[in-house]
Chain A
Amino acid sequence: MQPTLTVRNLTIEYATRRGKVQAIRNVSFDVKRGEALALIGESGSGKTTLGLGIVQLLPVMARITSGDILYRRQDKTGAPPLEIAALTLKGNSLRQFRWRECAMVFQGALNAFNPVLKIADHFRDTAKAHGALNGKSLEERGKHLLNLVRLDAERVWKSYPHELSGGMRQRVLIALALLLDPQLIILDEPTTALDILTQRNIMDVLQELRSKLDFSLIFISHDLSLAAELADRVATVYAGKIVELSDVQTIFKAPTHPYTIGLINAVPTLSGHKDDLTSIPGSPPDLVEMPSGCKFHPRCPLADEQCKTREPESEFAAADHQVTCWQWQKARGVLKSYA
């Protein structure tokens, strides 16, 4: 099976008042068929920009300056996949690509619904825009999906958005994302701004959906423990670059990038003492005045001359383990003793 999504050398720039900033810098990765890939990183690292780039919903001041995005729809029979070069899409074909092939559930999507339309109308609009189901079959499918995300389908179907709580709305949006059977769903921080119990509930729903349905997932979060729960593979993003990418076990048990190690050390554990909690010193770089060399060097305990002058390229630490660091081979050994 080929990957559902292949991103190669993607660079995305914003034109700001202070000049051009590269929010995504030469990023390459795959999302395999049926897997969940978590994108983890601090605020401002470029996670949302990456998601918006894939569905081409970047704001006007943003520009994709280079790269390719290839999406493949394939069924289980092994027939040749339908390939779509997402960045070449325009007009109607771009419109059809969105949501039918790749649905993006936005960060803080509490306002994701038109306040003057019922939930049913949102399902209807979406189906109609793609020439999909209508009438009774649409209602059946819509309610089925609402049940899947553990909502009282009969009631929610007829409700206006303001009659639902934030957690319910988030689940409705997830149900709506499933309507057209996309093979790729991007969830941008689906649980931020929700209380801890609602968050738990949504994570359970997502896990159940993953076991029942067949789609690939890009799960964006800054919460490592959520990623650990849901993801098959994890990518850590720093200053617009994926600095480490591997399967979830490797990332948590044997991380090799100093930034990933720092993130994992910063997660408080129930058993751990307060002294063990080491957070990463400093703050993410200013994208306008980016540091030279490795962008992490001002915060990295291992930074040396080479790190300050030359930016490392992505390397393979193992077959399915990419890392972008000059000193990945010794980072783990050295930093472990730090804690």
Chain B
Amino acid sequence: MTTVTRPTRFDLLTLWDRLKSNYLLQKIAQAIFVVWFVTSVTFFVVRAMPGNAVDILIQDLTLAGVSPEDARNQASLLIGLDVDKPLPEQYGTYLLNTLRGDLGQSYKSSGLKVSELIVQVLPWTLFSVGLSLMITFTLGIALGAIMAYNRDTWIDHLLSNLAATLDAVSPILIGLLAILLIGVTWKMIPISDMRGAMSPGMKPEFSWDFIADIFMHVRVLLLVYVLSTIGSWMLQMKSSTIATLGEDYVTVARARGLTDARILTAYVGRNATLPLFTRLAISIGFAVGGSVLLETLFTYRGVGFLLAKAILERDYPVMQGVFLITTTAVVFANLLVDFVYGWLDPRIRIAGGEQ
């Protein structure tokens, strides 16, 4: 027996071809590219632009009486990069550090690593933003579908007006109203109870007490998140459902004698929610952005709160780290949504992108 061995050609070009034909790989590559791009832009803005944050830091230190030499050394220590090295080398070290999860140290809370600061607050933002998105998405879909199915009845009018109003009012206003009404006027919940992500002395563990406590702290924030975003979900689901109800395949499904329940779920519901998944990706970014305002308002110690504080104190390493982490989170959340979407819509699944 002779075995014929063929030379396997696996150069960059064939790799590229494979990448292009694989939806999954393509999306992952895209996500990685975005994260790299944002990381680099942050670096050059903070480090390389004239009047950049590091130069200002050195200046500040010198003004405070530190010798220029020492100032440069201190700055290097703080940001974890040698400021006297040429820029490309600094950039290289920066990328390596970032990959290792080393995001430098906070200017203000001296000695504290940025990564540690973020790890402390990130779970709370993921928890509150994630939970509120889940609630708004499901509730918005359900209410939107109810509106569409009861089109032009009093239920529809009531819900539509409510949704349009909520959609028009800004989240911060809803937040202020919530504090005023719930905390001050009706005194339903003491304002101090709303502070922080959990009560002082509470230990993060898997117990009813702990879960009850974090929900007690997040409830008003959650309510504000939900109220400020649910309006547009309801309206969009309504119009999407109405459009789907007019599709031929729904009429044909009726002609085929399918049960109403089957038509509602597999024919109307599934198709009407498809466009909303695309929006889910966008709104993840918005929710994270909104958390800066709302977490500050409710002194909820999440990423948004940390960022607001860092901006106030001009704590650049922290800002940089938060940007990086939130971008990464949003990009990968988008990736997840993309996959769910591709899995839900066979037309995307196969073609990879377009129909």
- A: which residues have CB within 8 A of B? 55, 57, 95-100, 103-104, 106, 108-117, 125-126, 128-130, 160, 162-163, 173, 176
Contacts and interface: CB of A to CB of B under 8 A. Distances in A.
Contacts of B249: 111-115
Contacts of A125: 253, 256, 258, 262, 266
B252 interface: yes
A106 B270 CA distance: 22
B5 interface: no
Contacts of A55: 255
A162 B355 contact: yes
Nearest to A111: B248
Contacts of B92: none
B252 A106 contact: yes
Interface of B: 247-249, 251-259, 262, 266-267, 270-271, 274, 344-347, 350, 355
Nearest to A103: B255
Interface of A is mostly: helix
A160 B257 contact: no
A129 B259 contact: yes
Contact of B257 (A108, A115, A129): A129
Contacts of A128: 262
A1 B218 CA distance: 74
A223 B303 CA distance: 68
B261 to A, nearest CB: 10
A99 B256 contact: yes
17 contacts: A97-B257, A98-B256, A99-B257, A100-B257, A108-B248, A112-B252, A113-B249, A114-B249, A114-B270, A115-B271, A116-B266, A116-B274, A116-B345, A125-B256, A128-B262, A129-B256, A162-B347
A97 B253 CA distance: 13
B347 A160 contact: yes
Nearest to A176: B256
A60 to B, nearest CB: 10
Contacts of A111: 247-249
Nearest to B346: A160
A174 to B, nearest CB: 12
B342 to A, nearest CB: 12
Given A112-B248, A113-B249, A129 B347 contact: no
A104 B257 contact: no
Contact of B254 (A57, A100, A114, A176): A57
Contact of A114 (B257, B259, B266): B266
A129 B258 contact: yes
A109 B252 contact: yes
B253 A98 contact: no
Nearest to B349: A160
B257 A96 contact: yes
Query: Which 6 A-B pairs give the minimum distances between C-beta atoms?
Result: A111-B248, A98-B257, A112-B252, A99-B257, A129-B258, A160-B346
A96 B350 CA distance: 36
Contacts of A116: 266, 270-271, 274, 344-346
